[in-house]
Amino acid sequence: SFALQVARYGTDAPLNAQPSALRFGIGTAGVTPSSECEWVSISRFGDGTNWLVVSNPTSTDATYMLRFTADSGTPATDMSLLVPARSQRHLFTETMLAAGESGAVKVCSPGGTAFLAESMHYYIDSGSGEVCSAYGTLSRRATCGYPVGSYNTFLGQSSLLRVESICPDMVDVYVRPYTSDGTQLADHPLWVMGDQGATYDLFWSAFGVGQDRFGKVEVAIHPQTPGGFLAEVVKLRPSSTCSPFDMADAVPVR
């Protein structure tokens, strides 16, 4: 067995020049392609640029079905996407989301052909045009039960909890942040309407997470809630030298 990760880096130097510093880095884990429906988050939060990447790793052309939903509850957009064998398609999500909005995409393979889907987020400085920070999110199946993610508010970071309902039913969850020594800070209920989503700053007083802390956050679904959800913690650090954020990352809640 083995573990695989692909790392992408950007520097402060143009092509063929010697860099003096790194601008951003993205680490994407290698996963087994799926032939079952999966979901991935998309977002234009903080003036970010977002691309959905769908890859066909097989030797056969395939048509995949995509369903885009937005946090605001605007009607879902359905489309079919033909991806040739061993190829990729990149879709700019600006046409699917309003400025600053987030959402989710459901990817299915009616013919049973495997796929890989990921959402790539870039924050670009409006003055220099450079990529200040970036992160990638891989598609995965819906979550039920008591999944866990992590947060970190050191070094000026914010930790944003994003929860997406992936079914027509309202999702009833409890958010339970813990400190690094295991002390529970809150047990706060949240409701997310069907096929919608919401983003919550863990600095919010109801969660009890202050500055210069790190730990885990559990998102527990109510046992009587049908369906499932998609959740992640997005970590961002605002910057005045490379705007809007010079650090960005996302941790799946799973």
Residue intervals in the chain for CATH 2.60.290.11 = 35-138, 148-252
Strand partners, 225: none
Q: Which pLDDT band, with edges at 50, 70 and 90, does 2 fall under?
A: confident
Tell me the C-alpha distance between 9 and 167, whole Å. 36
Query: Cα separations (Å) of 188 from 165, 169, 176, 211?
Result: 17, 20, 7, 19
Q: Which of 12-16, 184-188, 219-223 has the lowest mean pLDDT?
A: 12-16
- What's the average model confidence in pLDDT over 190-219? 95
Q: Tell me the whole-structure pTM to 2 decimals.
A: 0.93
**Burial of 237 by CB count in 10 Å (0-12 exposed, 13-18 middle, 19+ buried)?**
middle
- What's the average model confidence in pLDDT over 159-175? 93
Share of the chain above pLDDT 90, in %: 76
pLDDT tens column, 226-253:
778 999 999 999 998 888 999 999 999 9
Share of the chain above pLDDT 70, in %: 100
- What per-residue string of b and e applies to 42-73 under the rule 16 or more CB within 10 Å gives b? bbbbbebebbbbbbbbbeeebebebbbbbbee
**pLDDT at residue 235, as a whole number:** 97
Place of tokens 């199946």: 141
**pLDDT at residue 245, as a whole number:** 94
Residue 70 has pLDDT above 80, yes or no: yes
The third-level CATH classification (topology) of the domain covering 35-138 is: Hypothetical Protein Tm1070; Chain: A (2.60.290)
Q: Is the dihedral of CA 30, 32, 35, 36 positive or negative?
A: negative
pLDDT tens column, 135-162:
999 999 987 778 999 999 999 999 999 9
The third-level CATH classification (topology) of the domain covering 148-252 is: Hypothetical Protein Tm1070; Chain: A (2.60.290)
